[in-house]
Amino acid sequence: MLGGPERLANPAMTKAQLAKDKKQPTGAPVYERIVLKLSGESMSGPAESGIHAETVHEMAREVKEIHDLGVQVAIVVGGGNIFRGGRQKDANLSIERATGDYMGMLATVINGMALVDALEKNGCHTRLMSAIEMHQVAEPFIRRRATRHMEKGRVVIFAAGTGNPYFSTDTAAALRAMEIKANVILKATRVDGVYDADPEKVKTAKKFDRITYIDVLKKGLSVMDSTAISLCMDNKMPIVVFDMNVSNNLRRVVMGEPIGSVVTAE
């Protein structure tokens, strides 16, 4: 991942001076409260699996940037860098689906703990909340408590998915976004938006700047799984898909710049 954005050398810089620096947009964020969906694979960085410390700390720096703008941040993290639950690569492992999903949920708790450590080292007060109770390492998920943490300026990390097998962390992100009344789901990926084919494999793939939930479902596009898309569609929760690997993109999204692709009702 690229290096983090430079901080202002002089906090007394005028708005006119700030406007000259495209990396430091002026004005207020367009979102007050967000759910940031991070895949487990993104935490492995250049490695094939596991947790890449430099990548996780860069994520934390990006989150700190938007948190300092006053944005209330909740993060839902996946666990595919450790264990993929129902989508196991090794068919010979033969772990029953529900058991595999629970193992995947525990993997998200490990990733959540890594994020907590990185965020707090970057100066963010953080709370890890788990859908599976494990009091020694995380708070149980309670909707009103999560909302209160955010109102007090804490970054909240939701781990263990929904706490149920057969539901992905994408669905957990959609569910939590509805529960805490977020303004948007920001889906961080390795590509710069939604395409009609995998842009890493198909050079002629077409990017959609805006697309509807219905079209995502009809075309079978891999934005989020169909359960998550349907939940967002029913509750009119917008989704912004963007490339988290580009430094400062997260800040640019919350400031309202046309980054990535937007999934909405119209």
| pLDDT tens digit sequence for 25-40 | 457 999 999 999 999 9
CA distance 156 to 183: 15
Strand 194-195 with 207-208, pairing: antiparallel
Burial 65-87 (b: 16+ CB within 10 A, else e): bbbeeebbbbbbbbbbbbbbbbe
- Taking residue 199's Cβ as centre, other Cβ atoms within 10 Å add up to 17
Q: Which residue has the tokens 């929904």?
A: 162
Q: What is the mean pLDDT of residues 93-102?
A: 88
Least confident range from 19-28, 52-61, 211-220: namely 19-28
| Residue 185 or 24, more confident | 185
The tens digit of pLDDT for each residue in 98-157 reads 999 999 999 999 999 999 999 999 999 999 999 999 999 999 999 999 999 999 999 999
User: Greatest CA span in the chain, whole angstroms?
Assistant: 62
Q: Going from the N-terminus, what domains does the chain have, and what CATH number goes with each?
A: 33-264 (3.40.1160.10)
